[in-house]
Every structure is written in structure tokens, then in C-alpha cells.
Structure 1
Amino acid sequence: MAKRGADRGALMRSAWAVLAVWAIYCAVRLGIHPLIGWQPVGPDDWTRLLQVRALLDGQSWWDGTQYRMNPPDGFSMHWSRLVDLPLALFITLFGERWGMALVPLFWLLPALFALRSIMLRLGFSNAAMGFGLVILPLFPLLPGNFAPMRIDHHAPQAVFALATAALMLSPRRWGALGAGAMAAIWLTISIEGLPLVAMVAALYGLQYIAEERRLLPWFLLSLTICAALLAFSTRSNLELFGAYCDILRPGHIASFGVAAVVAGMVPFLPFQQHAAGRTGALVLIPLAALPFAFSFLGDCASNPMAGLDPVLASWWHGYITEGLPFWKQPVSVAAMLIWTLIPLVGGFWLAARGGAFADGAGMGWVMLFVLALSAWGYSLFIMRAAVIAQLLIIPFAAVTLALLLPQARAIPSLLPRLGATLGCIFLATPVFVSALTKPLDPLFPTPTMARGAAAPIATGECEFAELDALAPGLLLVTMDSAPEILGQTRHSVVAASYHRNQEAMVATIKAFTGEIEDARSIIANYDVDYVVACLSAGDLGLYRTASDDNFANALASGEVPNWLTPVAGFESGVLRVYRVD
């Protein structure tokens, strides 16, 4: 019996357990996905598909231009080609539909292996290991980001963040080198990870203060070299040395290099035998690197969105839910973000109380806790950071369940046992808090809910594929609908929701929110062929609130000016199309 239990325990901690959990998850997701559909999920997923299609059709690796947005010149996307690679490979091997279905599930596999590595490093029990591998669906933001057809960059960047955390816990030099490489990929995909990567460096510094482990220089050295290689192998020189603030720039990389050099010198400075001396020496790193960063990066050092047009700030950026702080979120989303702290703090306290910090594991627990806490705090200001935070908090939730559920199940009476069991699960995940507070959302409307705040015009989906029956032309359409139109037709659009195309984005917003004659001038300036209105689109509803007699309301009512001619087949219904005379 003991041998059988030991065998089960060994299996639970093995790579086979990860593969089994992943295979079951894939089978379930692929089994239910036909009920959802086989199209990209949102505008960013459509645009990612457009990027990959262009790459496979021969567009240069260093050219991320979307030529069908604001043609003929288009504009350069800020996205990294690194995310295109697995998608391009899977589409080549399995076709477009299966490529989009399998790639998000592929990203889940390294995430589960990173979780396994974290739990092994921290000495998890077999029960906690099991919970850590299976509770991912109980974190609201995670299942959707690892679902078929969800091909944007949020899952990959979260996976590399988790891999950075896993390697950070290694006591060896190769772990620090690996963490630096993973952090470099993370930043290449999204510069938004910079505050958390800085926290990883600070935690290596904490490790040096407490335990004299000299891993920080190796982390920074690897970060510098890998960031340079990735930046120069995925971006053109024009982009790297241009005015863009939204990517990893040479100024960032040079600052990493300065920090690495100073960190390498720190152990050889005086008074390093004392913790106070080590602390003082580490202060030299930011003192050297930060002035260098601000000198070379300017406004880009503090604000990747520096230079955003006020019109976009008012009518676009302020309505992107994933980029807003918790106090601008619906109640259910805010509750989810805040409650995520409970399993983090609870799991850390229970682990400490249960003796998990013994045998030298305490520093690892502290480092993971501080990084997860930082990600949680970051998510309160930028909601999409909660994807990383929820992944990092899974180990703490697993400890909570492993330690509390057996006590709850040991209660003799049925009702108290049931209540305690549900209470344990409630404490370990924000999913129930989010669900319970969902009915409160309409009672406390937020700016993000203003999309579609005007009186409903129509319900149902717009079938944009029908537009492909028209002769190819340039379309003026609200920006959320634009990527799907590009994905399903041969048309081009004036703009979509990507900030490097600011002039065309501002023109599109002004056309729909302004007076009819203003719209006519903009349409003539861009030589637009068709005006398209999806009457169920949230952004069209938002633009209608600008004024009663604006262009968006004219399209919604069907009372269009005489220089627009309804296109046959699109005179009524949810999708309206007008030819510009």
C-alpha cells in the first residue's frame, strides 16, 4: 500500500502528469469549441492572423506594416514577429483553422511545465502539486486566453513571465541566465512587462543581500545580450531608432548593460561582508542605469504611449477595458482583480504556518510572493496584467486548497462540511466573486460600458464576409469592425484600433462623431469608396452619444446625405453599406 502511494506521488510530480492534464484540457476545449465557432475571437486576433498571412505571403520578416489599413502606405504595427512564428508554423503544417485552434493550446503546455517547476522548487506536497496543475480554469482570465482561436500576444507574454519566475527560483547560475533570456523575450513581445522585469532584478538583489548569492549580474547580462539579439533580429533599424515608445529600444538595452556592469562590480566593493554594505552597494545600480535610461529614452522611459492624440485618449484609449485601472472597470471585474489578493496572501500565510519555509525554501517563497504581489498591484492599474498575476498566484491557491480542503472534509456534519468545502474553494479563486457581483454591473455603469449606450439600433452579428461580393475598395468603418473585414474580404480600411496609425484613427473618429459635412470632407480626403455601419457595433453606439445630429446617428437612422447611395442588398438589416458618389 505504501509503495502504491509512493508511486502515485512520484507520478503526480512527474512530467507525465503535466502532459496528462494538458491533453485532457486540450480534448475538452477542442470538444466544446464547435459550439463557439472557428473564427478569431476579437479584433486583435484577426489582426494577428493578418500579420501571419502577410508573412506567409512573402512580406519581409522585418516589415510589420499593415498595408490595407490607411493604404497605400499603411503603418507599422508595434507587435513582435516572435508571436507570429508558432502560428505561421502551425498554419503551414495544419492549415489556417487548425493552426489557430492549436497554437493557444500549445502555449498552455510550457505554462504548466513552469508551474510544475515552481512547485517542485518550493517543495509542494503531492496534493498541492495536483491542485496546481488543474485549477487554472478557476481563474477567470486564463481559460479564455488559452482557448482555440485566441491568437493575440497576451498568452505568450504571460507564459514567458511565468517562465521567468520559475527560473528565478533556481539557485544556480544557469537559472539566472535562463531567467534573463525569458525576460528578454517577454519584453520583446510587450514593453509593458518592464516594471515586473525590474522587480525580478530587485528580487535577485534581495537574494544577494540576504544570502550573498551573486546571481543578479548573470540575470542582467543575459537580459542585455538576449534583448539586443531579439530586438535587432525582429525589428528594422528604422523602427528601433525611430520615434516609437511602444517597443524595446536600444536605450532600454543600453541601460540593462550599464546595470549589468555595475552589478558585476558590486561584490568587489568594500563592506560586502555585511548586509548593510551589500544593500548600499546595490543602490549604485539604479543610480547608474536610470539617468542613462532617461537621457537616451526621454519621454519613452516613463510612458510607452507618450504622444497619444487627445481625441484618441477621449474616444478610444479611455474605453479599452483591458488597459484601464480597476476603478474604471465594471463591478465584477474590479471585484475579481481585488479578490485575487486573497489566495495570494492566504496561500503564503498558510505555507509559512505549515512549515514550508524550512530547508532553505523561505527565500524562494518570498521572491515568488513579492513578484506575484507586484503583478497583482500592476493589474489594479492595467487590467490585462492580471493574466500574469493570476498565473503567478496559482501556486498559492494550490497550497490553500491542499491545506484547507482536508480539514473541511474532515468535519463530521454534512452541512458544515459542505459549507467549509465551498468556503475553501471560494477563498482560493476569484471566479465566484466575479460571478456573484456580475448583477451589480448595470447598477454602477462605468465609461467602458458606454459602448452602445445609445438606444439599441439592432441586435445580432454583422456578417462581414458578405462584403466580399462588392468590388474591392477603401472602407470607412468603425475601428473595432475593421480587422474582421480585412480578414474576411479583399477590401481596405481607413483605420483600425492601433495607435501608430493615429492620424487615420483620429479622422475616423471625427468622421463618425462630427457633423455630416465634416464627415464628407474626411471621406473625400481619404478617397473612400464605401461607408459601412454595423448597427450592433458597440463603438458605433458610443460615437452616437457625441451629438444627436452627427454622422453616426445619420447612418443609424438611415437618413443619409444624398452623396451616399445605399448598396443593393445592404439597404436594411444590421449591416448597412453606402457607396460614396
Structure 2
Amino acid sequence: MLPQTSFRSAQPTTRAATTRWLATLRASGDRPWVAVLLAIIVVVVASVIAGIRATDYVGGDNDDAMRLVEVRDFLAGQGWFDMMQYRLGLAGGTLMHWSRLVDLPIAGLIAVFGLVLPPERSEAAALFVWPILLIVPVVIGVARACNNIGGRQTMLIGLGLIVLSLISNVRFQPGDIDHHNVQLALIALLVAGLTDPLGRTGGHVLAGIAAGIAIAVGVETTPLVATAGTIVALRWAWHGSRMEGAAKAFGLSLAVTVAAAFLATTPPHLYGMVTCDNLSLGFFAIATSGGTTLYLSALTASKGSPRVRALALAVSAAAVVIVTMVVAPQCLANPLASLDPLLKTLWLDRVEEAQSIVQLSQTMPSYLGFGFAAGILAVLTCLIRIWRNDKREIHVIFLALCLPTLAISLFQIRGTTFLNFLSIFPLALAVSDLRHRAQREPRSTRAELAFAGLMLASVPSVWALAAAAIASMAGTDDTVMTGVKTSACVTREALLPLVGEPSGLVAAPSNLGAAILRFTPHHVLAAPYHRNTAGMLAELNIGLASPTAAGDLLRRDGVTLLAYCTEDGQTELVAQRAPDGLYATLGKGIVPDYLAPVQTPGEAALKIFRVRD
């Protein structure tokens, strides 16, 4: 799912709420906590309204439904260390790569609400509250970081930008329980700690802890954590004893947090396994060696000359490289590079968040402004101010954070979520400085226009609105503002006929897998997760095979039910690829003898068949 906005639910409240908030902000005077509280309230109100308007209490992403399934299994007694999804894939199930650190608070909320509410309503209440709770650390982190780099006015502008960002971000609306909102909250705290005034240890302890938990929650943030560690190390090498306490605090807190998370979430029998999509021995060894060597370098070489510190840093970097090459060399490669070509063509290339900017420019060019404009503007701002020696060090820091994130986003647009977020900090500082200039030159229209123009250009949703206006004039609706339409095949009503069937194994397009697990007691062959390659390949081969061969495959894999979705994009691709295959045959209305139709209401998009022995 694209890290897109959700204007359909949030836009009506945005303009009026933000206008009232900005007016109140100016009256907050010397009470910054008032501005922070108001920002939180505005975003919470917008999220609550979006949640009330939603037709389902679970978010629209497959990951939201799968996370709920995982939490349900945990509450039903599945072990803390047992991350198998036993109902997914071929016999034996699929070992998931997610973290119990995200499952735990959601499960806790469900258990608490379950004391006074029936099961489904307790789930709904927990899923309503959880994303809203995460708004708090995000706003506080942005406020603290912006105050660190530019003072009160930069903080107020940063709050304005994060409010506008969160209001239009589905990640913080009720029902979104995937880990991406947790990651954004952790990155906000990481940046807040990283920008603490030179030499202060408290902020760098916070940064190290946030970085360690971020690695444990999901490896998408690993490049940012590595960049943050490099920033602290280089600042220590440059400033010496002034950064000693901060470097030791970050290094030690990172190493301890990662070690604690590894021991707390990894089953003992998997201590020696290296996987590159979650916290395992690989990232444990790399992160703890990096943190420990930084701590030891700062402990022993802070009083030395710049040359001594540079040498100590080089030795530390060499140690981390050696650990990486010995323990986890495979983690330096793309974890999806070895994916089966069939899966790459029929699945991965269709995953929106995994598309490159080249693919996106062909499928949804309207997203380019929303996804990239603010990030590119932030990078250019940093470069210009570094060139002018204008607050150079802080802009080097943000260039180091934004530039790799931009590079990653060019190859996989899921990175734009972090790119847009990180752009807030250098752009808020630039807008604040332009505002100061406009105040010093009250008669300068140019200064006012520069301030207002940069403020508008710093808001991704402004680019989305512009794209929508252009699309409207062109007579198209393929914009970020249209959001993502939920397939008719994954609703509770569509899957209800499956509930009445004896528990068995369902062959269905991967996009239906999480919903089937959520709404029914059945097992499914496929769901869109890279660790379920065998199950996804089995389902695709069934659809591609001739009707006769498909019957043999269904019986071989023990499939008892087949779900055929007439509007599923992957199913259409399979039918086009194999015009004489099972899915193409079903699309023509021809049903093989070994499939017995299950009665579904009217002209339902989802057709269900029993597999005869």
C-alpha cells in the first residue's frame, strides 16, 4: 500500500481546524507546551473523525488484517517466541518476520477493553486507540527537535508542518496497526535526541534507545539508524571531549537496547540464525558491535588529538565491517533479489510501495509531487546552506539523513514516508529564518512571498492538492487523493459463505489471504509476504495450469476450497499469461467437474468452489 494521504476522510476537517490552531498558537506566548498540546489535540480530533467515518475498524492494508490475526493468536495462547503463522502457506505454516514488540501493546489494549466489552468490540476499541496514542511521541519528537535546531519559532513552524502531515496520513488513523506508525514515532524521538545541544547526554540516550527499538520493530529503518550512528561518531571525532558524553551515551544505549530486544524477542533455538528481514544474529551483531566500539572509542580517545580520534574511529568502523562480513554478509544484498521470477512478475512488481520512481511515473505520476517534492526541497536547502556556511553542521546532519532516504525512495517509494517526515526539520528551520527576515524587512514583498512560498512547498499535501486540481482539469481521477479502493472480495460479507464451510485449506489470490485468515477459521495458501513464497507459488501455479493439471495440483497440496475473485488484478494477470489456464477458464464461466460452486449472494465478485476428491 502506498504511504499515501487519506483526504477523503480527513480533508473536510483540515482547513478549519488548522486555521483555528494557528491562531491559538500565536497566543501561546512563552508556553511551548501549550502549542505542543494544541498540535496533538488537532491531530487526534482529525483522526477520531476519520475513525468514526470508517466502515471497518481494521485498516485497509493487508498488514493491518494480518497483524490482527497475529495478535489474536497470541491472545489465544500462542507462545511469545512462536512467530509461526500456522494457517498460512503449505503444511507447517509460515514463520513471520514481525516483532512481538508491536503485538504486545495492541494485545494489552484488547485485553483491557475485553474486561468490559465483548471480543469484537474490544478489538475495535483497541485498534481505534493504538494509532492515536502514537501521535503523541511523533508530535513531541518534532517539537523538541525543531526547538533544538532553531528555537521557539522553528518549533511552531515544525508543529504546523507535522500537524498537516499527520492529518492526511492514514498511518495514524484508527485501525492502522501495522508497524510503520511505530517506526515514525521512533524516528521522531531519534531525531529529537540526535539534535540535542552538543555534549548533552540525555538526548543521545533517548536517540540510542529509539534507534535500538527501531531495529527490533522493523529493518526498514536500519539505514537511518546506521546514518544516525555515523553522525554521532563523526561529530565526536570532530569535537572531541565536548561530544564524549553524548557519544558514549548513544553507543552504549544502542548496544544495550538491541541486545535486550534480541534476547526478549528471539527464541533461543534461533540465536544462531541470520535473517535479513528482522532482528536476528546479523543485525544484533552489527548494531551491538557498532554501539560498543563507539562507546570504547569515546571512552579512550576523547582527550586525544583529532588524528588520534580519527584513527580510533577508523578502527571502530573496520571492526563493524569485519563483523558484518563474517556474521551477515548476505544482509548487504537486496533480500528480495533471489525471489522467484514468477513471483517478481506477478506479485512484487505490482506491490505499489515496492515500485521505483520510474514505475510510479508511469502508473501514478500524480504521486511524484506528494512523495518527493518536499524531500528534494529539503536536500537542496541543506546543500545551499552548507555551501553558504549557514548553520552548516546541523544542515550536514539533515543532509546525511535525507539524502540516503531520497536515494532509497527512488528505488522503493515506501521510503517517501520517511523522506517527507525528515524534510520537516530543515524546511521548518528555513521557513523560520525567512520569517525572521520578513519581520526585519516589513516592507519587502519579496521576503513575505519567499516565506509563504516555502511554507506551502514544504507541505506534501499541497502538492497532492495541486495534482488533484490538474487531474480534475484533465478529466482523470488517478491521484493520491482518491485513496485506495477496498476490493469487494475482502469484505466480511463477501467471505461469509466461506465461514459455513468445513475448516480446510483455501487457494485464493494472495491479496485475499489476510482477510480470509481474519474472517474465517480456514488456512490459506497465499498471502502477500515474502516468507510465504512456497504458498504464493503454489497458488499461482494452480491458476496458470490447465484445468486438468490444476485439479491435480489442488489435490496434491490438500486444497479443499478455491476462491476466485473476478476483480483481482493478479488474477487478471494470471489469466492473461495463461489463456487456457484454470483462472482464465473460470473467467469465461467454465467450471471444471472437480469444482462444486458454493452459493454466494447475487452477482458476487468472489466465487467460491469446493474441491471434490
Indicate if the aligned counterparts of 1:220 and 1:256 stay in contact, CA closer than 8 A: no
| Separation in 1, partners of 2:293, 2:599 | 69
1:370 positional shift: 2.3
Count of aligned positions: 560
Q: What residue identity is the alignment partner of 2:372?
A: I
* Alignment partner of 2:157 out of 131, 134, 149: 131
1:50 shift after superposition = 0.4
Contact 1:299 1:306 in 2 (8 A): no
**Does the 8 A contact of 1:176 with 1:216 survive in 2?**
yes
User: Per the alignment, in what secondary structure is the counterpart of residue 304 of structure 1?
Assistant: coil
Equivalent of 1:194 in 189, 212, 222: 222
Alpha carbons 1:71, 1:492 under 8 Å: kept: no
* SS class of match (1:29): helix
* 1:304 Cα deviation after fit: 3.4
How many Å separate the matches in 2 of 1:145 and 1:394?
17
Q: Deviation of residue 90 (structure 1)?
A: 1.8
* Runs of 5+ consecutive residues of structure 1 not aligned to the other structure: 447-451
Match of residue 610 from structure 2: 579
Aligned-residue sequence identity (percent) comes to 24
Instruction: State the distance in 1 between where 2:188 and 2:292 align.
Output: 26
- Which residue is equivalent to 2:129? 102
- Given that 2:510 and 2:527 are in contact with CA atoms closer than 8 Å, whether structure 1 keeps it comes out as yes
The whole-number CA distance in structure 1 between the counterparts of 2:131 and 2:26 is 34
* Equivalent residues in 2 for 1:26-425, closer than 5 Å: 26-40=44-58, 41-70=60-89, 72-94=91-113, 95-126=122-153, 128-136=154-162, 138-139=164-165, 143-170=169-196, 171-212=199-240, 213-214=243-244, 215-242=246-273, 244-266=275-297, 273-305=304-336, 307-329=338-360, 330-345=364-379, 348=382, 357=391, 363-404=393-434, 423-425=453-455
- Deviation readout 1:89-117 (Å, 9 max, x if unpaired): 22222311111111111111101111111
Q: Secondary structure at the match of 1:559?
A: coil
Establish whether residue 8 from structure 1 lines up as the match of residue 35 from structure 2. no
SS in 1 for 2:366: helix
- Once residues 236 and 49 of structure 1 are traced to their aligned partners in structure 2, the CA distance between those partners, rounded to angstroms, is 22
Pair 1:469 & 2:500 matched? yes
The equivalent residue for 2:40 is: 22
How do residues 500-539 of structure 1 correspond to structure 2 at under 5 angstroms? 500-539=531-570
Q: What is the root-mean-square deviation in Å for CA atoms of aligned residues?
A: 3.6
The aligned amino acid for 2:64 is D
Q: Which amino acid aligns with 1:33?
A: G
Equivalent pair of 1:66/1:75 in contact (CA under 8 Å): yes
Using the size of structure 1 for normalisation, the TM-score is 0.86
Shift of 1:564: 0.9
In the TM superposition, residue 425 of structure 1 has moved relative to its aligned partner by 4.2
Instruction: Give the Cα separation in 1 of the matches to 2:190 and 2:328.
Output: 25
Tell me, in whole angstroms, the C-alpha distance in 1 between the residues paired with 2:103 and 2:234.
36
Contact kept? 1:161, 1:182, Cα under 8 Å? yes
Q: Say which SS state the counterpart of residue 380 (structure 1) adopts.
A: helix
Gaps of 5+ in 2: 1-23, 114-121, 479-483
2-structure distance, mates of 1:304, 1:272? 42
Shift of 1:377: 2.7
Once residues 5 and 500 of structure 1 are traced to their aligned partners in structure 2, the CA distance between those partners, rounded to angstroms, is 48
Deviation at 1:179, TM superposition (A): 1.6
Structure 2 vs 1, CA of residues 269 and 226 (structure 1 numbering), >3 Å: closer, same or farther? closer
CA distance in 1, matches of 2:223, 2:253: 18
- Structure 1 residue 277, shift from structure 2 partner: 4.6
SS of 1:576's partner is: strand
Matched AA of 1:482: G
Cα distance in 1 for residues equivalent to 2:423 and 2:330: 33
1:116–1:388: structure 2 CA closer, same or farther, 3 Å change rule?
A: same
Q: Is the 8 A contact 2:506 2:525 kept in 1?
A: yes
TM-score by length of 2: 0.82
Q: Aligned to 1:238, what secondary structure does the other structure show?
A: helix
